[in-house]
Structure 1
C-alpha cells in the first residue's frame, strides 16, 4: 500500500497521480448464512480496538491511524 511504501521510504520522490474518494474501505469476505462468523469477526475487531492492539498494528505497519 502507499502508506506502507511512504513509511519505508519517506523521502521517496513520488506523487499521487489519482485518488479514489472511497479507496479507504476494506472488508472481510465471508460466506452467506454464517452470522456466527460475522459476529466473531466484529467482536475480535472491537476487542483489539478497545485494548489498543489495532492502533499498535496501524502504527507499526502504516505509521498512522488507518481506521478512519
Structure 2
C-alpha cells in the first residue's frame, strides 16, 4: 500500500500535469516501472485520477499517462 500512496501523492502534487509510469518510477526511486504502472492502474478512475494516452509533462514522450484533476 505504501507504493500506491506514494504514487498518489506524487501525481497529486503535479496538479493536472500528466506523467508517465517511467517518470513516476524514476522520480519515486521504484525498482521497476511495473510497480508504477500497477499503482497508476489502481488509481485510475478514483479520487480524480485519470489514465489516458498523451504526452508526459516531464519527459515529453507519448504513451499512457496519469493525472489528477
TM over 0.5: no
TM-score, L = length of structure 2:
0.26
Larger radius of gyration: 1
TM-score, L = length of structure 1:
0.26
